[in-house]
Each structure stands twice: as C-alpha cells, then as structure tokens.
Structure 1
Amino acid sequence: MSPFDAVLCDFDGVLRVHDARVQARIDHEYGLAPGSVLATALSPALIGPAVLGEITFEEWEAALVAEFTGLLGSPELAAARAGAAPGRCLFVDDRRENVEAATSLGMTGVHFREAEDLRRVWAEAGWE
C-alpha cells in the first residue's frame, strides 16, 4: 500500500524552474523592465486558466502573444525588436484591429478566437 493518497506539488519552482539569467536577457533584449516576461507569462489572468485546464496550451500561447505585443508596442515595433522583417512575422491577436494593423505592414495575421484559428495557419504553412 502506498504511504500517500495524493501528491500535492507546487508547479513553479518545483516542477518548472526558470533560469533568471535567461529571463533577464530576454527582458533586456526587448527593452522591457526586468521581470516583465516572466510576470506576464505567469500572471494569474493568463496562467490560471491554463493550469486549471480551462484553456489549451495553444490558447495560452496566443494570449501571451497578445500580451507581449501590448508590452512591446505596435506590431511594427514588435517585429523590429524581434529582429524580423514584417513579411516574415506571424502575428496572432484576439483583437481584429491589431491583426489588421499587422497585415497592413505585410505580416501574416491571425485573428485568434479559438485554437483552430492557429491550426489552420500552421497547416497552410506545412507545420502540422
């Protein structure tokens, strides 16, 4: 018989450990305040639904992209900070006006409403 009926384990810091040096480098490279990327990725509004299984990993990723775009500024500024030409960017956002701004710059835009929106673009790109 097992000595335990349940294993209750913290997620961050136990099952998932973040390298502070990597996080600091990412924040610095994108001109963000220290801790911005990690604070955004793990904000209760974003991570809570993902950890509780209320949204899929893809939905969480899409929400992160939208949040990071807000941190970085305009789609054009986000592309520049990422070091990518607009025509080589896939822009995903749940706000149509942001997607329209991105596509006007030559980016491939996805108006995210559900994970299938991303799956369709990935399939078209041959990323299945």
Structure 2
Amino acid sequence: MSSLPPPSYDAVLCDIDGVIRHWPSADALEEEHGLPVGALAAAAFAPARLVPAVTGRITDEEWRSAVAADLTARHGSKDRAEAAVLAWSGLVPAVDQDVVALLRRVREVASVALVTNATTRLERDLAHQGLADLADAVVNTARIGVAKPDPRVYRIAAERLGVAVDRCLFVDDTAANVTAAREIGMTAVHYRRLEDLCAALSPLTVTP
C-alpha cells in the first residue's frame, strides 16, 4: 500500500481582521455623534497615530485617547468626540465561522498562527470572541515591536511554530503584506473570499 504524500505546508500563518473577523461600519455611529462619515477612520488609522499603537509604543487606551483628542481638535466638541470613541470601541466584529472551521481542520495536520497588526487589546478581544484557542500561537505586533509588512514579523511567527519559512503558507487580505511574505520565501495568498482560502488549504484539508 502506497504511503500518503506529506502535506504541502507545515504551518499556516493567518491574518485576523479582514480574514477571520470583519468589523461593522461606523457610519451610523458617526452620524449619531455629529461627526462626518469617515472621521473615526481618518483619526484612528492615520499612520502617525496607528503605527505606535500596533508596534506597542503606546497602549490601546492611549491610542483611543489620541483618537478622541484628534476628533476634538478637528470637530470641536470634546464630549461628543469622547462619546463617539467610546461607542466605536464597543463595536464587535463578526467572526467568519467558515474560516474558523477551516483553520481548526488545518490544525489537525499543521501548525496555525494568527499574525496580525493589532493593539494591546487584541488578546482580550480574542478571548471574548472564543478565538483564544484557535491557533498554536498569536503573533500580535503590539507585543513584538514591529508590524507587517516588516519581514521580522513573519520570521518571528515561523520561529514560534518551529517551522522553516519556506514551509509556511501566509494568508492576508492586504496585498503589501502578502508580497512581503513571498519576498522572504513563504507561499502567500491574498485573501479576498473564502474560496481563496479553501483552494490554498486544500492540500491540508482534502482527504485522499
């Protein structure tokens, strides 16, 4: 009887937001608090504000406070800005249970790491959403001091799993992060829809 071929990958490194979780729009929240649509994203994701948060130079709380201060400066009401940020902070992302189920199947034959640009709040949020045990490792950039697409992020993830870089499959919804993974020798998939992930993971999930 012939033996089965080995899996194509020893590890899967998967982004979180945009792949596993999907955040709701803040449009209605902004309108409710008298802010222009897009104001929260503009304040929160400006690189000068976001990069310190996702590399751990400031805490999640400090980041959100800075967002409120920016909204106050731009739109003139401290109380309104702080109320908007509080409501925004309470938004809960939808979890794609199909992706979760797929990663749990993969974990039966390969290691899985969640690799994400996130703030110091990530671990708490994952626990609240029942995702803390989804992977063998969580690489939160706020805990390691560098963020994707810095190649050190990918190497740290592979090292934590004890897997060679060229035996990793990396999945992300941001093209620049995918390109960076390929440049250090990983196989990488630009995630747009569930079918992308199913096809990439088929060597690990399809029973011969």
Larger relative contact order (Cα-Cα within 8 Å, sequence gap ≥ 6): 2
- Which is higher, the Rg of structure 1 or of structure 2? 2
More strand by share: 2
TM-score normalised by length of structure 1 = 0.48
Structure having the larger proportion of residues in helix: 1
TM-score (norm 2): 0.31
